Structure 1
Amino acid sequence: MNAPLVAVAHGSRDPRSAATIRGLLDVVRSVRPELDVRTAFLDLSAPALGDVLDAVHSDGHGSAVVVPLLLGHAYHASVDIPTAVSEAQERNPLFRVRTAEVLGPDQRLREAAWRRLLQTGADPDDERLGVVLAGAGSAHPPANRLVADVAETWQRHTAWAGAVAAFAAAADPDVPAAVERLRAAGARRFAVASWFLAPGRLPDRALERARESAPSPLLAETMGADRGIADLVLSRYDAALETPGQQPRLSRVG
């Protein structure tokens, strides 16, 4: 019997967020219907990760694989998930839990964000277009660097006036500052791409600031229930199963 896949997302008070995550996992199930796929959240949404792991154990499974639905490796991946996993294993000492890598960096994330952006009508050959790639922002610099790397790659491979990463919280630049940077580079039309998996407070903040800063910007949807991301979730699951002796590690991230 395959170990259940427990996909854990951040969680949000916005009901659209959990609905989007569940939609993504429906795609995962459609790709691999024989796999037991369960949904969990770290905060603000139910069910909690620890409760889902307890349920998997109660259902008679001896193991599970936790796949973080996180775009980068920061505090949630380094502290919150390992803590919940360790506590679940203390409650159920014979239950083995493997933790997969976070989703990013990966080409399939970049492709999903790109597809959503093109759906707005953004033209890669538009020399007057400035694109803001909006992400959540983190106190962990490598997570922000990942978003900036994607924006820089887009700029190199398009005719745009520029592409700049911006953050809704915890990091600079914010969306208005990114728009001003693009305007100084010659942009006269603007688009906002989404480095978010699901809707919620931070994506809404980024879009609101874009509307305040730019005239009629093109606004991309979150990556959501994308087949490429579903494939990525499954590849993280498979890789965790293939890693011998893998155990979660708890570390502190500022």
Structure 2
Amino acid sequence: MFLPRPVRLPGPLVPPPVLLVVAHGSRDPRHAATVHALAGRLRSLRPGVRVETGFLDFDAPSVERLLDRLARTGVREVIALPLLLTRAFHAKTDIPAVLREASARHPRLVVRQAAVLGPAPLLTAALERRLYEAGVAPGDRASTGVVLASAGSSDPEAIAVIAEIAREWRHTGWCAVRPAFASASLPRTEDAVRELRAAGAVRVAVAPYVIAPGLLPDRIARGARRAGADVLAGVLGAAPELARLLLHRYDEAITAPRYLELPRPA
């Protein structure tokens, strides 16, 4: 279990780095509401750390403007935590570009990008929490097939990670676990549900491997209903396991050796 803990560095007492949650953004207002709820949980778990949220698109504030504001108000260190479950395009390209540009604009602002959230046992625990909340009983595991339904990606690394999570999760007692994707890759959720039913699963549950509501999670839900899934779990949302994992990634970024580099001169 990852417990919230204060951050202390050698030498004079300095404020801990700002924890910046970097979310994709969406036209769906439920997305931003979920991100802000998760940020609120982080603040309650780590009251000594300033927590901010920024978005790559659609929602305000943008990551760029938020970093500009932080720099203007004297903030010197930021840990940017991508609210992403796999290391794909946004983690490899979009977010690093935004952070590099901010560093160029504000040479006295040190910005670190933390690792993406997945894979991690805490995410599996959050998925199971949502399945149990949706009506799956712990005793049903051996007769329940699970569809691990992710948003999808054109990045082969991300797809391979989802497949590996499904394989590992299967070994924890479920009848079967199949990956599915809402976009870019196959199979779709409805196809995975039908495959599990044809393979003999007594019941089929769909576990969305997504953080916030929006277009693709809605597509997952439609596919689950269309194929007659017995259980449809909610998105991960502000699950306590997700909040603890974010804080773990924050602490990892702080304790990385390069964190002790001197700030660049103005």
Scaled by the length of structure 1, what TM-score is found? 0.91
1:42 and 1:49 in contact (8 A); partners too: yes
Higher mean C-alpha displacement, 136-145 vs 71-80: 136-145
Supply the RMSD in Å over aligned alpha carbons: 1.5
Name the CA shift for 1:151/1:123 in 2 (closer, same or farther; >3 Å): farther
In structure 1, C-alpha distance between the alignment counterparts of 2:170 and 2:125, rounded to whole Å: 15
- 1:181-203 deviation line (CA, Å, top 9, x unaligned): 11221124321112011111100
In structure 2, C-alpha distance between the alignment counterparts of 1:8 and 1:163, rounded to whole Å: 30
| Equivalent residue for 2:144, pick from 102, 106, 129 | 129
The CA deviation at 1:125 is: 4.1
Following TM superposition, the consecutive aligned residue runs of length 4 or more in structure 1 with deviations greater than 6 angstroms are: none
1:1-254 paired onto structure 2 within 5 Å: 1-126=15-140, 128-160=143-175, 162-214=176-228, 217-245=230-258
- 1:230-251 deviation line (CA, Å, top 9, x unaligned): 11111111111122336xxxxx
The CA deviation at 1:222 is: 0.8
| SS of match in other structure, 2:191 | helix
The CA deviation at 1:158 is: 2.2
Unaligned runs of 5+ in 2: 1-14, 260-266
2:103 and 2:110 in contact (8 A); partners too: yes
Aligned to 2:7: none
Unaligned runs of 5+ in 1: 247-254
In structure 1, C-alpha distance between the alignment counterparts of 2:124 and 2:19, rounded to whole Å: 23
- 1:60-88 deviation line (CA, Å, top 9, x unaligned): 11121101110010000000001100111
Corresponding letter in the other structure for 1:33 = P
Name the CA shift for 1:125/1:156 in 2 (closer, same or farther; >3 Å): farther
The CA deviation at 1:153 is: 2.7
1:57 and 1:95 in contact (8 A); partners too: yes
Name the CA shift for 1:118/1:88 in 2 (closer, same or farther; >3 Å): same
Aligned length: 244
Aligned to 2:12: none
The CA deviation at 1:214 is: 1.5
Scaled by the length of structure 2, what TM-score is found? 0.87
- 1:37-77 deviation line (CA, Å, top 9, x unaligned): 00011112211111111111111111211011100100000
The CA deviation at 1:99 is: 0.9
Name the CA shift for 1:159/1:201 in 2 (closer, same or farther; >3 Å): closer
| SS of match in other structure, 2:146 | strand
Q: More relative contact order in 1 or in 2 (CA 8 Å, sep 6+)?
A: 1
The CA deviation at 1:124 is: 4.7
| SS of match in other structure, 1:245 | helix
